[in-house]
Amino acid sequence: MFRTILFSFLLLCAAAAQSQNIPAAVQNRNLRTDADFADAVNLFSKTKDNESIFAAAAALADCPPPKNYAGNFYDMVISSDEHGLRQFFAAVILTSMSADNKELLPSLQDAYLSAKDPALKAYAAAALAVLNPSDKTKSDDVVSLYSYDKIFALKAVNYLYPNDKKIISALKNAAGGKDVNVRKGAAQMLGTFINEESAKILFKMLEKEQDAVVSSATAFSISRMPKYAAADIKKCLKIKYSSRPAFTCSLALGFMQESGFEIIKENLSSENENAQINALRAASAAAEILSGNDTASYSSDVKFDRQNLKTLIPQIAALSANGKSDKIKEYADAAGKSFLKLM
């Protein structure tokens, strides 16, 4: 039913966030007031701009509008002259509004089968999951949606699986999949289920994952659960510093504020060369994070964490001057340069 949509969805997502004509509530996917919903529906209904269509659609899927808007979206779905992207997302929004809209199943199934872009395929899979949760064959596609739309992906996953234990089991399967988008979504989504089992799966991913983007997602999710991850972080710091798992371990520790600081401090004094180098790399990552533009996303108390991190400067300076190997001195010098950004 939906016409083929020939554009790069990833570029669309990036452009949508930068559009000057999209209301803040729509950009932030945080529709609360009647005016917010009216603005989002008006933008979605009238714009000819793909970026704006997507921005409004994502906001309306995440924050379903009042049911009095349903007629507007049904008109778009059945119109033969409607813009293909708007027609598709009108069905997705209607699904988010009510899981009883079973009449949308055929058109969404067609969209799923014909979609060329993985993100559009993931949106179709998520909508189908909401409408028909007994069909779990598209579970991995739903998981992959998390990278583009956390809220709608989690909504669909919760329709597919009745409890956290079954969700985590599905994420464990997705984490071992061949599709990099699925593994990335699994790594990211596991970070929302902070428990021992999630941590175990993430550390398995840390050991095996070779894709840099998935490894970064794994590191960030591990950093969110210090209670369950601290012991394994200390172990993986001893991995050969030049390996991908060691890099991911360092990055996870760099993301891990508060308790992560103590682990860095402890391992800067380690007799193990790998532990020292990996701790230096973690310190460098932490400094880069805390000096960046998006610091508030990683720290609840930026000023405190910056000051805390600065107390490591004497240790890092000592390793730069007197490290027991040239590699330790090299990584200490690199950390020192990162720390300059905190000043």
Residues 319/276, Cβ–Cβ less than 8 Å: yes
7 confidence band (pLDDT: 50, 70, 90): very low
pLDDT at 54: 93
Write out the two tokens for 236. 């993986």
Residues composing the chain? 343
Number of CB atoms found within 10 A of residue 195's CB: 14
* CA quadruple 123, 205, 11, 45: dihedral, nearest 10: 20
In this predicted model, which residue has the larger pLDDT, 162 or 152? 152
Q: Which residues contact 138 (CB under 8 A, 6 or more apart)?
A: 112, 125, 128, 129
294 confidence band (pLDDT: 50, 70, 90): confident
Write out the two tokens for 155. 């909504």
Query: What number is the average pLDDT over the span 227-251?
Result: 96
Count Cβ atoms within 10 A of the Cβ of residue 2 and give its class: 0-12 exposed, 13-18 middle, 19 or more buried.
buried
Which residue, 257, 262, 241, 249, is CA-closest to 334?
Answer: 241
Domain ranges of the chain: 1-130, 236-343
10 confidence band (pLDDT: 50, 70, 90): very low
- pLDDT of residue 6 exceeding 70, the answer is no
Token pair 């209301």 in the structure block, residue: 23
In this predicted model, which residue has the larger pLDDT, 149 or 51? 149
Per-residue pLDDT tens over the stretch 42-77: 999 999 888 899 999 999 999 999 999 999 999 999
* Mean of per-residue pLDDT scores for the chain: 93
Query: What number is the average pLDDT over the span 20-29?
Result: 89
Residues 118/138, Cβ–Cβ less than 8 Å: no
pLDDT at 16: 47
pLDDT at 19: 53
- pLDDT of residue 289 exceeding 90, the answer is yes
Q: Which residues contact 74 (CB under 8 A, 6 or more apart)?
A: 90, 94
Count Cβ atoms within 10 A of the Cβ of residue 293 and give its class: 0-12 exposed, 13-18 middle, 19 or more buried.
exposed
Query: What number is the average pLDDT over the span 209-216?
Result: 96
Whole-angstrom distance, CA of residue 81 vs CA of residue 338: 55
- pLDDT of residue 9 exceeding 70, the answer is no
pLDDT at 20: 56
Please give the helix or strand (H or E) that residue 153 lies within, else none: helix 150-160
What single string gives the DSSP state of each residue in 170-202? HHHHHHT-S-HHHHHHHHHHHTTS-SHHHHHHH
